[in-house]
Chain A
Amino acid sequence: MTGGWARRTLDRLYAGSGVVAAAFLVAIFAVVLAQVVLNTLDAALSVVTGAPLGLLLPSYAEFAGYFLAASTFFALAYTFRSGSHIRVTLLVRNLPPGARRVAEVWCCAAGAVLAGIATLTAGRLTWESWSYGDVSYGLVPIPIFLPQIAMTVGLGLLTIAFVDSGLAAARGGTLPSDGEDD
């Protein structure tokens, strides 16, 4: 299995979703910074013209919030595979190899079940937002199902990563590092 096309595809999927998540962080930075620059310009101009012009990026706070959600959920699987989600390894680390394997498989199985449930319920929430045509309250009516798609996809990727890692652990592999080796 290792080195096969399935392995390569999955690894590219995790890495790719991490890059998408990082792009959303840059988007938050860009939107917020643009708004701050506009605010400053507005304040400077109002000294000259006597009244603020009201320069602003419509709904920038909502955009920043949705970008944040998209970044968080897209990064879930990538963060998991790089061993950055926090867990208590004190006990697991000191188990004999056989028992440790059982514990790792249990963790991935429990993770897969819970992430799977979360994916399904997120999918339903997204579907409802779409069918009711829910939009955000701000100046720009943003359809809420768009960022919620990111939540559903991200949780789905996390479920896949849990199943993937659980199968690897069952075959005697190790889970993504937990910082215990640094």
Chain B
Amino acid sequence: MELLAAVVLVVVLLGLLASGLWVAVSLIGVAAIGVAAFAGAPVGRVLASSLWSASSQWALAALPMFIWMGEILFRSRLSDDLFEGLAPWMARLPGRLVHVNIVGCGLFAAVSGSSAATCATVGKMALPELARRGYDERLTIGTLAGSGTLGLLIPPSIILIVYGVAIEESIARLFVAGVIPGIVLMALFMGYVAAWSWLHPDRVPPPEPPVPLIRRLIGARRLIPVMALIIGVIGSIYTGLASPTDAAAVGVALALVISWASGSLTWATFRDSLMGATRTSCMIAFILGGAAFLTTAMGFTGIPRALAEWIGAMGLSPGLLLAVLTVFFIALGCFLDGISVVVLTTAVILPMVEAAGIDRIWFGIYLVLVVEMSQITPPVGFNLFVLQGLTGKNILTIAKAALPFFCLMIVAVVLLVAFPGLATWLPQQMAAR
């Protein structure tokens, strides 16, 4: 009975989404149908209280603050500073300035929670500069598409806030858990670029005249404000000095100061960043509200429990279950954005995952990594859209350039499954304090 209901509701949900109905509204619609048809509980009372309790949480207040901080920095001179400050240091590595894309994305990811913003900020400056110096265009675009996804993994991460709020898990722990996998992913990308350049020496432009150490240090001075911001925000969360919401508000203040000091803070940039943050945060919070209603509705129907028992009865090993889920998420991610995938997961799949004995924090990091891959798969991949806007190239060309990085992310998922400590070790150190 529950399985039949589950199939009906999945078909209804996919139908609503495909018809173009807004994601949050589709979630509310399918949940209302689920409650009315399969549970017989009063729809209205559940709807209002779910929407209310999901949207008035202290922990969720970190969301608009981190979005706003990213919006301010996106409109500052940070893009130039990252390129100018990093480029001289990367010139000696095999692959040279292509590494600026990866490291620049990693740094911007640590002050922004969105992968599209990360991709756009670094790409804005690096794409024309690298093209001018004759770097291979496919490699440049591919590294940007791939490294842009670091925005979701390296804290602060919008998607980990959504996951944490939806499953009522500590956002601070989730943030800390993302640090090491983010660094591993950067190392994989940089290793690939180095290997590629070593195999294709003819397609790497000649080295530029070396920059003396003192000049490099002077250039790196421009990175000091953003490094201070990263250490301040992540450090205060890790040491427990501040909750993510506190750290985010301080982050907004520091971002305003950085933007003001570099002369890019005007009334127009302030207003645009604030209104942009208002829209994005409203969009995400509305989806979370819809998802909270869906989660409650699913609880009434008993579907998640039935699914969990069904999967449990099949006796899948956690490894096999994860393999199946990975394929499922990548397929879903081809058509849905990451946040929608995450909220659907928490509403329906999490009980099944917990029944298989998988850690919630570890699963959050795994989920983000898999959802990141969906950011660079056509037809719907936000990083691809961003790079399409920046380069004017066909989306399939961009997707092809991103393919090696998609494969590297699969390697990262395998590493994460093989060595779960990559995600769980650092938060445990935090607990020991």
Summed over the interface, the residue pairs from A and B with CB atoms below 8 Å come to a total of: 181
- Pick from A79, A87, A118, A179: contact of B20, CB below 8 A: A87
Q: Nearest residue in A to B20 (C-beta to C-beta)?
A: A92
Alpha-carbon separation in the docked complex, A86 to B385 (Å): 14
Contact at B64–A68, with CB atoms within 8 Å? yes
- Pick from A18, A85, A124: contact of B23, CB below 8 A: A85
Alpha-carbon separation in the docked complex, A61 to B59 (Å): 9
**Is B275 part of the contact surface with A, judged by Cβ < 8 Å?**
yes
Alpha-carbon separation in the docked complex, A35 to B337 (Å): 35
Contact at A28–B21, with CB atoms within 8 Å? no
| Among listed B135-143, B200-208, B244-252, interface-contacting one | B244-252
Which residues of A sit under 8 angstroms from B281, Cβ to Cβ? 25, 71-72, 75
Contact at B20–A104, with CB atoms within 8 Å? yes
Which residues of B sit under 8 angstroms from A147, Cβ to Cβ? 56
Contact at A182–B389, with CB atoms within 8 Å? yes
Shortest Cβ gap from B214 to chain A (Å)? 36
Query: Which of B19, B63, B339, B380 is most buried by chain A, counting CB atoms within 10 A of its CB?
Result: B19
| Among listed B40-48, B392-400, B408-416, interface-contacting one | B40-48
Q: Nearest residue in B to A68 (C-beta to C-beta)?
A: B61
Q: Can you list 6 A-B contacts (CB < 8 A)? A: A25-B274, A73-B55, A79-B278, A110-B21, A117-B43, A147-B56
Prevailing SS type, chain A contact patch: helix
- Pick from B18, B19, B61, B250: contact of A28, CB below 8 A: B61
Q: Mark B1-37, 1 if CB is under 8 A from A, else 0.
A: 0000000000000001111111111001100100000
Query: Which 7 interchain pairs have the tightest Cβ spacing?
Result: A75-B282, A121-B44, A32-B249, A92-B20, A69-B56, A121-B48, A125-B48
- Pick from B25, B52, B248, B252: contact of A148, CB below 8 A: B52
Contact at B57–A68, with CB atoms within 8 Å? yes
Q: Which residues of B contact A (CB under 8 A)?
A: 16-25, 28-29, 32, 43-45, 47-49, 51-52, 55-58, 60-61, 63-65, 68, 242, 245-246, 248-250, 252-253, 274-275, 277-283, 285-287, 289, 335-337, 339-340, 379-380, 385, 389
Which residues of A sit under 8 angstroms from B24, Cβ to Cβ? 85-86
Contact at A118–B28, with CB atoms within 8 Å? yes
Which residues of B sit under 8 angstroms from A118, Cβ to Cβ? 28, 47-48, 51
Q: Mark A65-77, 1 if CB is under 8 A from B, else 0.
A: 1111101110110
Beyond contacts A36-B250, A84-B283, A151-B55: 17 other A-B pairs, Cβ-Cβ < 8 A, are A25-B278, A28-B64, A29-B65, A65-B58, A68-B57, A79-B278, A79-B283, A85-B24, A88-B20, A91-B20, A107-B20, A117-B32, A117-B47, A118-B51, A125-B49, A148-B52, A151-B52
Which residues of B sit under 8 angstroms from A61, Cβ to Cβ? 58
Shortest Cβ gap from B364 to chain A (Å)? 21
Given contacts A18-B275, A87-B22, contact A29 B252 (CB under 8 A): yes
**Is A111 part of the contact surface with B, judged by Cβ < 8 Å?**
yes
Alpha-carbon separation in the docked complex, A110 to B280 (Å): 23
Contact at A107–B19, with CB atoms within 8 Å? yes
Shortest Cβ gap from B96 to chain A (Å)? 32
Which residues of A sit under 8 angstroms from B379, Cβ to Cβ? 90
For chain A residues 19-70, which have a beta carbon within 8 Å of chain B? 21-22, 25-26, 28-29, 32-33, 35-36, 61-62, 64-69
Alpha-carbon separation in the docked complex, A134 to B246 (Å): 28
Given contacts A71-B278, A118-B47, contact A103 B20 (CB under 8 A): yes
Which residues of B sit under 8 angstroms from A25, Cβ to Cβ? 64, 68, 274, 277-278, 281
- Pick from B29, B52, B278: contact of A125, CB below 8 A: B52
Shortest Cβ gap from B242 to chain A (Å)? 7
Alpha-carbon separation in the docked complex, A111 to B24 (Å): 10
